[in-house]
Amino acid sequence: MKVLIIGSGGREHALAWKIAQSAAVKNVYLAPGNGGTAGEQKCENLPDCTTAEAALAFARSKGIDLTVVGPEEPLAQGIVDRFRAAGLAIVGPAQRESALEASKDYAKAFMQRFGVRTAASRSFCDYKQAQAYVQSYLTTQSSVVIKADGLAAGKGVIIAEDLSTAQSALLSLMSVEATGSDAGKTVVIEEFLAGTEVSVLAAVSIVPGKAGVIVPFIAARDHKRRFDGGQGPNTGGMGAIAPVPDFSQAAYDDFLHAILEPTVYGMQQEGMDYRGFIFFGLMIQENRCYLLEYNVRLGDPETQTVLPLLESDMVSLCSAILDGSLATFPLVWKAGAVCTVVAVADGYPGPYRRGELITLEREKLIHTGAIPFMAGTYTKNGNLYTNGGRVCAVSAWDSSPQGAREKAYSGITAVNFTGMQYRTDIGAY
Ligand code: AMP
Ligand code: GLY
């Protein structure tokens, strides 16, 4: 069997690593892949394959049996629609369903329509009205959350505690000149929710006319802020732990009842054909879950944390998603915990240097049992170089969360490049 994976991040490296373990898989191709996937067993990078057209042409000519899409951009641009139209098996939602991530306004309207518990919000496309609304809102509330409607690579959410911050957020998100894209035109203004965050990734098989199902994976906690103690700017994710020690059974039951079940119902009512993965970004307040957002894909770095806990075969899981048998698929998880620490380039999430030589002390990695998943990297003449802000994630399993943390932190010292930085408190809370 030949599998094609779309994307180039750490999540895609973890997907490739897991998919390559399937006995049925002979080749894994990555479009375009990264410096880590280049050396993974059974894997081959397609560096020139960076568009949906190129991926489709490759899948046709190579006789690809299964395609899995990692990131949100190709999903929002309709790569799944193209593959489906060509009769090719692909895991991921079509363009219409991808609006659950690509448009926060659409997602909030969906949540409100079907009673998925979420922060109260209003959407605006008129700057003056939005400004008047935040001004009156902040006379009674101490903070407000302002979100760009479209995909904004994690930069579209501003939490404002005063009027001038809120006003400059509105200006930067709503002026097309400032954002250079449609992402800035509509904003969602919502109530600020305090609490602890949890990410639940899940497999989705909702097919019109069939009994649909969403099967949650083990919950994970991403650490989004750049610095220890949750300080500093938001990033794509500095590390994660799974399972989440403080995500109680009561909170999980509430998630099923208040968020997952109405989502399944809503998708069916809307006649969606959704065969892929979904990511529930949750805020938990005293065992009550609120949905901050849907992502229509797996999370990064949560995937690097959760997949090493998955015992089940990934290709069989993908087949069950596609053929409608997910409800009876035996999803088996390893006991214990996985901690993932992300090494980033100095300066990230601001400007940073690329092209630094990366060395990996393989012996040390083998000794700790830690798995390196590469992100922003490339290979040249057999060497590995940095090529992005998030460079490498190291994931380690242990029977206890504390042991997983220790192994991940020991593993990350096997990775070296000039300017390398990481948080020291991943999984500590
Ligand atoms: P989102 O892209 O909607 O997940 O937002 C990114 C991050 O902003 C989340 O992970 C939260 O840390 C924060 N956030 C988003 N919405 C809210 C909210 N209503 N209240 C508090 N924090 C929020
Ligand atoms: N870890 C958050 C995300 O993948 O969007």
8 Å CB contact between 337 and 306: no
Residue 18 contacts residue 371 (beta carbons within 8 Å): no
Atom of ligand 1 nearest to the CA of 290: 19
pLDDT over 70 at 29, yes or no? yes
**Could you tell me what percent of the chain has a pLDDT over 70?**
97
Give the number of the ligand closest to the Cα of residue 196.
1
CB of residue 101 inside a 6 A radius of ligand 1: no
The ligand 2 atom nearest the CA atom of 237: 1
Nearest atom in ligand 1 to the alpha carbon of residue 194 is 21
Which atom of ligand 1 is nearest the CA belonging to 192?
20
Strand locations in 141-252 (E):
144-148, 157-160, 187-191, 196-206, 213-216, 221-222, 225-227, 231-234, 239-242
Each residue of 85-128: pLDDT tens digit? 999 999 999 999 999 999 999 999 999 999 999 999 999 998 88
Phi-psi region of 402 (alpha: psi -120 to 50; beta: other; left: phi over 0): alpha
Q: What would the mean pLDDT of 385-414 be, rounded to a whole number?
A: 97
Question: Which of 199, 223, 283, 284 is the pocket-test mutation for ligand 1 (most atoms within 8 Å of CB)?
Answer: 283
pLDDT, tens digit (0-9, with 9 covering 90-100), for 278-311: 999 999 999 999 999 999 999 999 999 999 999 9
**Residue 223 CB–ligand 1 contact under 6 Å:** no
Ligand 2 atom with minimal separation from the 240 CA: 1
Tokens of 61: 């000519």
Mean pLDDT, to the nearest integer, of 255-270? 98
Share of the chain above pLDDT 90, in %: 90
Q: What is the pLDDT of residue 182?
A: 56
Name the band, by pLDDT with cuts 50, 70 and 90, for residue 172: confident
Q: Whose CA is nearest to atom 4 of ligand 2?
A: 299
Whole-angstrom Cα distance, residue 11 to residue 388? 14
pLDDT averaged over every residue in the chain: 95
Tell how strand 66-69 and strand 2-7 pair up: parallel
Whole-angstrom Cα distance, residue 138 to residue 144? 7
Across 13-31, average pLDDT: 98
The pLDDT assigned to 114 comes to 98
Residue pLDDT, tens place only, 327-357: 999 999 999 999 999 999 999 999 999 999 9
What pLDDT was estimated at residue 184?
53
Q: Which amino acid is at 34?
A: N
Mutate which of 280, 283, 295 for ligand 2? The one with the most ligand atoms within 8 Å of its CB, which is 295
| Confidence label for 84 from pLDDT (cuts 50, 70 and 90) | very high
For residue 74, report the phi and psi dihedrals to the nearest 5 degrees.
-60, -30
For the record, the structure tokens of 76 come out as 């929002």
Mean pLDDT calculated for residue range 243-259 = 97
Residues 6+ positions from 254 with CB-CB distance below 8 Å: 287, 288, 289
CA of 303 to the centre of ligand 2 (A): 9
Please state the pTM of the whole predicted model: 0.95
Any idea which of 63-77, 128-142, 260-274 has the lowest mean pLDDT?
128-142
Give the pLDDT confidence of 42-78 residue by residue, as tens digits.
999 999 999 999 999 999 999 999 999 999 999 999 9
Q: What is the pLDDT of residue 183?
A: 53
Q: What is the residue type of 8? A: S
Q: What's the helix, strand, coil split of the chain in %, to 5?
A: 35, 30, 35
Q: Using CA positions, which residue lies closest to atom 5 of ligand 1?
A: 157
CA distance 202 to 280: 8
* Nearest ligand, measured from the Cα of 302: 2
* Mean pLDDT, rounded, for 141-148: 93
Q: Return the bridge partners of 220, or none.
A: 199
The pLDDT of residue 35 is above 60: yes
